[in-house]
Amino acid sequence: MSRFPLVAMTLSTLLATTSSALAEPADQGGDTTSVLKSYRPPPVYRPVPRRPYYRPVPRRVYVAPVYTPRPRRPVEVVYNPHFHLAIGVNGTSVLSSEGSRLTEGLDTGGGFDIAIGWRLGAISLDASWMMSFHDAGQLGTNDDATLGTLGLDARFFLSDRSHALQPYLQLGVGLYVLGRDSWDSDGLTGVGVQVGGGVDFYVTKHVSIGGKLLYRGAHLDNSDSTWSGFPSESTWLSAFTYGGDLKFHF
């Protein structure tokens, strides 16, 4: 038996089977289109597209700084309790005393002062020498009067040594001499006091500038002696001394 008649029989059988299968739904009331649709593969799954995600613009947020106290440095001592030398200038206004020819004849004058001292804590002990020159023309002479004071003072500081600006109060006693250029020994001498205050400002640890105002009062007496052209009397001398100085600390 040859192969060709066998192949032809097989093909005819397959065609008959397919025709009967396609014709069967139509005989049962269906149509060919629905049958073909039933043999189509299922549709490919397509996911729903996502909405685009927009990243919000970052907002600037202020962060409060955390307070951290700075470490405290040790207090630097501006002034050490050592010796000092002061050089200054002053002006002296003499107040008139009732019934005193001497005080009425002296004009306001000026001069200089030099002091050395030693400070221990809040107290400083100073030894000073002050000279002030005045016009004594109202006494009937052509000479100038000279007021000299050798004093010992205590200064009480109102602030500690860590401050550059240091105010103080001053109290002291002194030996007062009032004379003139042509007088050899005809001067008035006496003991007095000085009361006042001032302030020192330290530019560096070793240099300071200051100012002060002092009241000076002294009892002067030459009533036991007589000199020509000079009043012989006993009087209380009152004066205000004001000025500034430059101090060197070591």
pLDDT per position as a tens digit, 199-226? 999 998 889 999 999 999 998 876 665 5
Q: How far apart are CA 167 and CA 197, in angstroms?
A: 8
Q: Higher confidence at residue 178 or residue 6? A: 178
The pLDDT-based confidence of 35 (bands split at 50, 70, 90) is low
Q: At residue 7, does pLDDT exceed 90?
A: no
Q: How confident is the model at residue 61 (pLDDT cuts 50, 70, 90)?
A: confident
Q: Give the integer Cα–Cα distance in Å for 131 and 177.
A: 10
Cα–Cα distance for residue pair 238/96, rounded to 1 Å:
8
* Best-predicted range by mean pLDDT (94-108, 168-182, 235-249): 235-249
Q: How far apart are CA 99 and CA 12, in angstroms?
A: 170
Rounded to whole angstroms, the Cα distance separating 226 from 232 reads 6
Q: What are phi and psi of 21, to 5 degrees?
A: -70, -35
Q: What is the pLDDT of residues 81-138, one digit of tens each?
A: 589 999 999 999 888 666 666 666 677 889 999 999 998 888 999 999 999 988 876 5
Rounded CA separation 122/82 (Å): 12
Cβ neighbour number for residue 3 with a 10 Å cutoff = 7
Q: In this structure, which amino acid lies at residue 231? A: P
Average pLDDT for the chain: 77
Residue 229 has pLDDT above 60, yes or no: no
pTM score of the predicted model: 0.62
> Domains in the chain, start-ordered, CATH in brackets?
84-249 (2.40.160.20)
Give the span between the Cα atoms of 160 and 104, in whole angstroms. 43
